[in-house]
């Protein structure tokens, strides 16, 4: 299994608002570190991490995962939270789709390139099927030369403009607009989860969370 560890600096462009994770220092050190002490302290105790994972699971965090993968996912997330204070998942080693069907790689460069949008949507389709979330793509047009880009798509009959006569490298814009489009459709279909963006550029990832899951994570992971 390939473990993808994600530093949780969430700047999620969702319909209805922008949510940011705030900065906080490690909360586990009981003894002040000396100026010469460079030993990395754990972000939280294993017991604290186990409690967070249990709370997330109670909130349905693993409801899109197969039962046989739960133990692997729990152990991986407990380890990541306790040592680094970050979200993580485990990918299927053949398909590279996350076993939790929740935390996805979201490389801004790949997303901006030709067919990047559709590749991201297709990678998320196993999740969409489990969510009973319809994403019917039609009229997908990408037009570009060396100086500009036009990119538009129709999803479930609703047209979206992703780029119009855009110039430059739109790695961040591509991720933001993908999230805005997906979140618009989630809202229209009355789903209780939204897509949040994590990090950016080649380190970009994304995760689907309910308000309750987001609030729990936002209250715990505050390292800038």
CA distances to 35, 78, 180 from 55, rounded to whole Å, are 36, 12, 28
pLDDT at 167: 72
Report the mean per-residue pLDDT for the chain. 81
Treating both helix axes as pointing N-terminal to C-terminal, what angle do 211-220 and 46-58 enclose, rounded to 10 degrees?
Answer: 170
139 within 8 A of 153, measured Cβ to Cβ: yes
Q: Would you say residue 28 has pLDDT above 50?
A: no
Q: What is the pLDDT of residue 27?
A: 28
pLDDT value at 40 more than 80: no
pTM of the model as a whole: 0.78
pLDDT at 169 over 60: yes
Q: Are 86 and 8 in contact (CB under 8 A)?
A: yes
Domains in the chain: boundaries: 2-27+41-131+193-220
Q: Between 178 and 17, where is the model more confident?
A: 178
Give the three-class secondary structure for 152.
strand
């Amino acid at each position: 299994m390939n473990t993808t560890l994600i530093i949780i600096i969430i700047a999620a462009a969702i319909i209805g608002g922008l949510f940011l994770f705030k900065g906080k220092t490690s909360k586990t050190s009981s003894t002040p570190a000396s100026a010469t002490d460079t030993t990395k302290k754990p972000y939280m105790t294993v017991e604290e991490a186990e409690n967070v994972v249990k709370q997330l699971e109670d909130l349905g965090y693993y409801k899109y995962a197969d039962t046989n993968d739960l133990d692997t996912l729990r152990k991986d997330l407990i380890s990541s939270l306790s040592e680094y204070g970050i979200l993580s998942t485990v990918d299927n080693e053949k398909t590279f789709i996350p076993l939790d069907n929740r935390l996805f790689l979201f490389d801004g460069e790949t997303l901006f390139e030709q067919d990047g949008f559709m590749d991201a949507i297709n990678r998320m389709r196993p999740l969409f099927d489990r969510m009973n979330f319809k994403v019917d793509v039609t009229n997908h047009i990408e037009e570009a030369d060396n100086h500009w880009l036009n990119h538009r798509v129709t999803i479930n009959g609703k047209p979206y403009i992703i780029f119009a006569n855009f110039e430059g490298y739109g790695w961040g814009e591509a991720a933001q607009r993908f999230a805005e489009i997906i979140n618009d459709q989630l809202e229209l279909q009355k789903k209780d989860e939204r897509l949040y963006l994590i990090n950016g550029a080649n380190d970009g990832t994304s995760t689907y969370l309910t308000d309750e899951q987001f609030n729990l994570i936002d209250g715990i992971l505050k390292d800038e």
